[in-house]
Structure 1
Amino acid sequence: MTSIRNKMETQGLPFEQVYDVFAIRIVLDVPESREKLSCWQAYEVVTSLYKVYPNKFRDWLSYPRRNGYQSLHVTVMSNEGVWVEVQIRTKRMDEIAEKGNAAHWKYKEVKKIEHIPGLDTWLNQIRTVLEQESQVSNELTDTIDASPQIEKIEVFTHKRKSIFLPAGATVLDFAFELGTAFGLGCTGAEVNNKLVARHYALNYSDQVKVITDGKQQILEDWLDFTVTRKARSAIKKFLKQEKDRKIARGKKLVREQLHQLHVKWNEETIEQLLVCLDEEKVEDLYFKLGEGSMALQQLKSFPTTPYKTRESRLPRPDLRPFIQDFNGH
Structure 2
Amino acid sequence: MDKFDVEDLLALIRNYNPRTDEALIRRAFDYGQRMHAGQTRHSGEPYFTHPVAVAAILTEMRLDDATLVTALLHDTIEDTRSTWGDVADKFGRDIAELVDGVTKLTNLQLSGSHSKQAENFRKLFMAMTRDLRVILVKLADRLHNMRTIRAMRPEKQVKKARETMDIYAPLAGRMGMQWMREELEDLAFKVINPEARNSIIRRFLTLQKESGDVIAKITADIRAELDREGIEANVYGRAKRPFSVWRKMQEKQLTFSRLSDIYGFRVIVGTESEAYRALGLIHRRWRAVPGRFKDYISQPKANGYRSIHTTVTGRDGKRVEVQIRTRQMHEVAEAGVAAHWAYRDGVRSTNPFAVDPAEWIAQLNERLGGEDHDEFLEHVKLEMYSDQVFIFTPKGDVIQLPKGATPIDFAYAIHTRIGNSTVGAKVDGIRVPLWTRLKNGQLVEIITAAGQRPQAAWLEIVQTGRAKAAIRRSLREEDRARLIRLGAELVRISFEHHGRRVTDKALRTAASKLALPDADELLARIGCAEMSAQEVLQTLYPELGTRKETVDPARPVAGLEADQTLGRAECCQPLPGERIVGITYRGRGVIIHSIDCPSLAELDSEEDLKRWVDLQWRDGTHPPAYPVTLSVTIRHDAGVLGRICTLIGSQGANISNLVFADRKPDFYRLEVEVDLHGVDQLHALLTALEAESDVAQLARLLRPELAP
TM-score normalized by the length of structure 1: 0.46
Larger Rg: 1
Answer 1 or 2: higher relative contact order, Cα 8 Å, separation at least 6. 1
